[in-house]
Structure 1
Amino acid sequence: MRRFRRTLAAVAVAAVVVTGTAGWASGTSQTPVTGPPPGSEEWRADRSLGRALPDPGTAAPGDVSEFFAGLTAAQRQRLLVRHPFVVGNLDGAPPALRYRANALAPGGAADGRQILAYDPRGRGQVAEVFGDLTRAGRVAVVVPGSDIDAGTFDRTREMARSLYEAANDRAWDVPGSAAGHGPAGYDRAGKATGSVAVVAWAGYTTPVGVGVDAATGDLAEAGAERLARFTRGIAATGAARPALFCHSYGSVVCGLAAQRAGATDIVAFGSPGMRADSVADLRTDARVWAAKAPSDWISKVPHVRLAGLGHGTDPTAPEFGARRVPADDTEGHTGYFARGTSSLRAFASIARGEAR
């Protein structure tokens, strides 16, 4: 009987894939963008410094950080001008240098935004920072779900900006309170103890629509590798360990990256599952949180894994073991960062390291 029920659930997953959910069209298959960034061959051949440069495809972020620490300002400038795509996407390189490189890269931002990664291959991948990544006492990374790429990045950017504003302005949602305040001070490592930097990370090939890609883990596995390398890269530059805020299919990515990401917290919201049956299966020392709005259409997706379809147990289910994030006043699948919601207040508390 149990096997029969699981088969029916798998059929239901397939039906969702074929017909779409809440009006979404069936998705088209995507090929994940992997490997080093554009311009890597020219970078590898560059001997202008009299030595080999760290290989963008194989060098550990810690080794990249040490390499740049040993360069003069003029040498750094020479490399970013010659190889903006490589420097702008090289995990372990100083964030300020990556911002400057991505401002020079064709198609990169030139309006003062802090673009930490920009890869134009495929549908395009982008990461943007709000705040001071290297000096903030806390760091949060927003990992989006389906349909996000360079052309739709503003959706993830707005999520990250909402979290940044809420986490750094504790008074904004308290009636009658004073205006938000700045950092409480600096610790011995020079970190601003009261501040949170937030990264909008659209750094993987996401599914398009609700199709086979969204119901399977192939894109998530490729994305998890990129996410884990990204978090190791910012850690190598001295940034604080991140809290991951993982929306929809992004929670599948975070689930697969959990063991390698070095996160303090992992927050899954609007999640189809994390490719795990419980928090213990994630094999992480991070605190794991979960939220689901009553009106979120993700509730209609069967939480099973069978024959490669589905992503497993609902992270908000008691048996999964995650800490619950309130979301009763959150609207739909994309309203978790709306100002004034209990979900955003809880997210801000988690980002600040205050939630228990």
Structure 2
Amino acid sequence: MTVHSSSLDNAALELSRAAGVLATAASERRSSWLKLEPLSDSSSLNAGFKQLPAFDQPTSDVAAQMDAVVSTLVTTADALRLIEGYISYLERLGNQSLMVSVMLRYLGNLGALLDFMCAREISALCTAISPPPLKYLASFSDLPAAAIHEYHLLHAPPEIQQLARDNPDMQILEAGDGSLVAAFGDIDSAATITTIVAGVGSSDTEQWPAHMGRARNIQAATGGATMMWLGYAAPPTLAHGLARAPARAAADRLEEFQNSLRQRNPSQRQVVMGYSYGSTVVGTAGKSLQADALVLVGSPGAGTGVSHASELGSEVYAITGTADPIGFAATRYDGIHGIDPTSPTFGATVFPSSSDHSGYWGDEAFLGQLREVVQGVDIKKPPP
């Protein structure tokens, strides 16, 4: 934990003393000014004396503000003391079992979250500005992912909390309003992260277990952390998938999310993989994404207005299986959602595949190629 209860106790004590000094000084000045009022026969002077106490109100307000901060510090210190007691007990056991290690990590994460929430509350008290809701990854600053997960276990909708309990290998990073962003693997220590942007129907909670399975497959194949990004209102059906507006809105959110990931770990290799309509989201975001590589899988188009892979600002890879009917959605010239990214003139590195639209996740050849992309292996373009 970054802060100990004793440090908070000391800070609360010093702040309480300072608040007391300010409050006493303000009270004494008000008393002195009131005593001066009867000494003057001038009505104008009397009126002035009556106004003097108002000039001291800011000092009283600051003292009250400091008292509120003291209360927050004391409450936080009490909670931290309880956590520290459990940690001390477990450490004294001398037990190096997996269960004890897991409990120690869990308590450490609770401590980090408590420290973060305390700082957030103090900031609100001192600035009189209500902080924005803790919804997106950027809102949590550099709080460890495991601590962010603990926050969502308390505040996420019940169905997402249950999903997390049923899948203990998943860490929730964003949740609510029909969206879910979750990690498989430790994003704070992993050398690589692959963000999977899902397509049509991915906002349907009944489909989430399937997306989780895909994320686990990619994690196992690449050896790095994997992000299941269901962070937008996806078109519910193929017919709705003809619309471009959801892709534009999702592109903005994806850009914000990837920027947050990059700020957390600038040296990490980060790959964004868009599947089906999700590939159009990735292409629409394009060079605004903080990513080392983009992978467009089963794509109906690389995004309107994108004519060449070089416009996307990263390494670009594309794959559409010969048995995937989505290949008819775009051509080398154009389509509803832009150019087919597997077209030779588009300029992406194209992986050959005979998969149908749902077969990529079990395609060992593709998973091997993806592993090389994620690990940064120099891939030679196959002949056209």
Alignment counterpart, residue 222 of structure 1, candidates 249, 268, 284: 249
Q: Relative to 1, partners in 2 of residues 1:76 and 1:255: Cα closer, same or farther, differing over 3 Å?
A: same
Note if 1:350 corresponds to 2:377: no
The structural deviation recorded for 1:147 is: 0.4
1:292 Cα offset (Å): 0.7
Task: In structure 2, list runs of 5 or more residues that go unmatched.
Answer: 1-67, 74-110, 122-129, 380-384
| Per-residue deviation, 1:304 | 8.3
Which of 127, 146, 163 is matched with 2:200 structurally?
146
1:154 & 1:235 partners in 2: Cα distance? Answer: 27
Structure-2 residue corresponding to 1:119: 175
The equivalent residue for 2:137 is 90
Distance 1:336 1:355, change over 3 A: farther
**Further displaced range: 289-298 or 109-118:** 109-118
Change (3 A) 1:100 1:314: same
Q: What is the aligned length?
A: 252
C-alpha separation in 1, matches of 2:269 and 2:368: 21
Structure 1: any 5+ residue segments left out of the alignment?
1-45, 51-70, 169-195
Distance 1:281 1:139, change over 3 A: same
CA contact (8 A) 2:194 2:272 kept: yes
Aligned residue in 2 for 1:163: 218
Residue equivalent to 1:336: 360
Amino acid in structure 2 at the alignment position of 1:156: H
* Aligned-partner Cα distance in 1 for 2:310–2:72: 47
Quote the residue 1:255 is aligned against: 283
Counterpart for residue 228 of structure 2: 200
Q: Measure how far apart 1:246 and its partner are.
A: 0.8
Q: Larger relative contact order (C-alpha < 8 A, sep ≥ 6)?
A: 1
| Shift of residue 353, structure 1, vs aligned partner | 1.5
CA deviation string 1:207-258 (max 9, x = no partner): 11112x4123210111011111111112222262410111011011101112
Structure 1 contact 117–125 (Cα < 8 Å) conserved: no
Alignment deviations for residues 162-187 of structure 1 (CA, whole Å, 9 cap, x no partner): 0111112xxxxxxxxxxxxxxxxxxx
CA distance in 1, matches of 2:226, 2:185: 7
Contact 1:145 1:206 in 2 (8 A): yes
- Aligned equivalents of 1:257, 1:248: Cα separation in 2: 15
Mark the CA change 1:298 to 1:79 in structure 2 (over 3 Å): closer, same or farther. Answer: farther
Deviation at 1:262, TM superposition (A): 1.2
Number of the residue aligned with 1:185: none
TM score, norm. by length of structure 2: 0.60
Distance 1:77 1:218, change over 3 A: same
**Structure 1 residues 197 and 304: alpha-carbon distance in aligned structure 2, compared to 1, 3 A threshold:** same
Partner of 2:39: none
User: Which has more helix, going by share of residues?
Assistant: 2
Choose 1 or 2 for highest CA Rg: 2
Given that 2:137 and 2:174 are in contact with CA atoms closer than 8 Å, whether structure 1 keeps it comes out as no
1:300 paired with 2:328, answer: yes
% of aligned pairs identical?
Answer: 25
RMSD of aligned residue pairs (Cα, Å): 3.0
Q: What TM-score do you get using the length of structure 1 for normalisation?
A: 0.64
Cα distance in 2, alignment partners of residues 100 and 72 from structure 1:
10
Return the offset for 1:80. 9.5
